[in-house]
């Protein structure tokens, strides 16, 4: 099960899996577009085995959920929310900045939050109150007016409480590609949104990608993955624990160890099998391990090159001297430096966001942050003096392009 991997093949398999479900997702989206709420009920019955009496979660259900959540867990959610908010407050851009770049010309940027966004919180195999916080807290920090959430039924009380703590306005018990379609297109119950964020299984991810001509999305955030750069000083038990932490998410999760030490790879493999056998989610883990394994490289520089080629969702650096390795990393969703930086810390309580691009998309996308919930407009303030500074340049280029009215719009002001 724990085997040597070819990096190029590993990457191809991660990306090729999207095409496997595209036809099914198109069918689901079409049904939602044509039948709205009725399609949501039908698909939830067919795919989730759940009869929806009400699509929307009521205020009474939110309040009742608090009675079902352990007090210690409630405290942990509140503390996690505070840490996530604290980190994301540091990202909050100025509402408006202006800078005089030369006499008479002042330039700047005005930033405003999106009005209405949709959040997808996975369910089914597990409850993810942490994802509820990760997706919604940055939106609230950004100042989004309306936050709605879709999550598969039956909705776990812990997820309901987390969404309530985060200040979500609307909660709907709909999952899968149909939930994405509902938020993107709108139904009788679910008004459409401007942007959809959040991770999900391969069907959710493909639905987001297919509907991007109708709604903006954060990025493809599908089945979880981790790459680990390690040398002979790394603890195989730590690495194996990180592998299992990702493998237990989804049968399509994938883990790859990149190491200079073949002996370490073997010891990690032994630890992975031993831990997997004792895991409560061993069936999921064993399926994920079919996509997992190791790569042996000659030196750490090669490991960095390999990691940049993979562009993993999570990158763990467990080497004797991790900072030079960190300096060489270009492509990764979130980076965990040092033996004690368990990826699970970022999943829950360090404050950074765990909603990250997968399947190599970390080459071009950044993980979820406050900026995903904002849009920016450039601002220019120009006086007569400023117009005289740039007028000749504007007129010359406009005339060269044959856009004479553009040139005249400047010329008429300079003559006044």
Q: Annotated active-site positions, please?
A: 313-314
Per residue, the 3-state secondary structure of 323-362, as one string, reads HHHHHHCCCCCEEEECCCCCHHHHHHCCCCCCCCCCCCHH
CA 210 – CA 179 distance, rounded (Å): 13
- The torsion defined by the Cα of 172, 175, 181 and 185, in degrees rounded to 10, comes to 0
- The torsion defined by the Cα of 318, 241, 357 and 18, in degrees rounded to 10, comes to 130
CA 386 – CA 111 distance, rounded (Å): 24
Cβ–Cβ under 8 Å, residues 395 and 410: yes
C-alpha gyration radius of the chain: 25
Cβ–Cβ under 8 Å, residues 343 and 242: yes
Cβ–Cβ under 8 Å, residues 315 and 334: yes
Query: How many other C-beta atoms lie within 10 A of the C-beta of residue 210?
Result: 19
Instruction: Please give the span between the terminal C-alpha atoms of the chain, in angstroms, as a whole number.
Output: 79
Query: How many other C-beta atoms lie within 10 A of the C-beta of residue 232?
Result: 12
* Closest alpha carbon to 239 in 313, 323, 328, 339: 339
* Closest alpha carbon to 223 in 346, 361, 113, 107: 361
Q: What letter does residue 255 receive in the DSSP assignment?
A: E
- 118: helix, coil or strand? strand
Both tokens of residue 216?
């903006």
């Amino acid at each position: 099960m724990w085997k040597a991997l070819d990096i190029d093949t590993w990457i191809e398999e991660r990306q090729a899996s999207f095409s496997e479900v595209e036809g099914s997702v198109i069918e689901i989206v079409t049904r939602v577009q044509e039948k709205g709420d009725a399609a949501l009920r039908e698909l939830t019955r067919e795919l989730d085995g759940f009869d929806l009496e009400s699509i929307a979660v009521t205020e009474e259900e939110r309040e009742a959920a608090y009675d079902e959540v352990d007090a210690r867990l409630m405290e942990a959610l509140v503390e996690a929310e505070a840490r996530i908010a604290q980190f994301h407050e540091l990202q909050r851009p100025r509402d408006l900045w202006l800078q005089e770049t030369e006499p008479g010309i002042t330039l700047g940027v005005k930033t405003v939050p999106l009005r209405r966004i949709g959040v997808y919180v996975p369910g089914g195999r597990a409850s993810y109150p942490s994802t509820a916080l990760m997706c919604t807290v940055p939106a609230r920090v950004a100042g989004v007016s309306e936050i709605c959430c879709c999550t598969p039924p039956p909705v776990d009380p812990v997820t309901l409480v987390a969404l309530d703590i985060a200040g979500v306005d609307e909660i709907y018990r709909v999952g899968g590609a149909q939930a994405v379609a509902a938020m993107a297109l709108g139904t009788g119950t679910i008004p459409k949104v401007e942007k959809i964020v959040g991770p999900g299984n391969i069907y959710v991810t493909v639905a987001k990608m297919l509907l991007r001509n109708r709604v903006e999305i954060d990025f493809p955030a599908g089945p979880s993955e981790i790459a680990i750069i390690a040398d002979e000083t790394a603890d195989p038990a730590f690495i194996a624990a990180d592998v299992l932490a990702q493998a237990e998410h989804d049968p399509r999760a994938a883990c790859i160890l990149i190491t200079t030490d073949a002996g370490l790879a073997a010891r990690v493999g032994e630890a992975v099998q031993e831990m997997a056998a004792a895991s409560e989610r061993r069936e999921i883990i064993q399926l994920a391990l079919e996509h997992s394994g190791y790569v042996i490289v000659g030196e750490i520089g090669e490991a960095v090159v390999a990691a940049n080629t993979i562009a993993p969702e999570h990158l763990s650096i467990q080497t004797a001297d991790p900072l030079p390795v960190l300096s060489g990393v270009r492509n990764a969703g979130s980076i965990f430096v040092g033996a004690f930086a368990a990826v699970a810390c970022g999943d829950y309580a360090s404050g950074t966001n765990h909603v990250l691009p997968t399947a190599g998309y970390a080459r071009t996308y950044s993980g979820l942050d406050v900026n995903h919930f904002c849009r920016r407009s450039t601002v220019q303030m120009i006086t007569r003096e400023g117009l005289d500074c740039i007028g000749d340049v504007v007129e010359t280029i406009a005339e060269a392009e044959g856009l004479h009215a553009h040139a005249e719009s400047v010329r008429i002001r300079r003559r006044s």
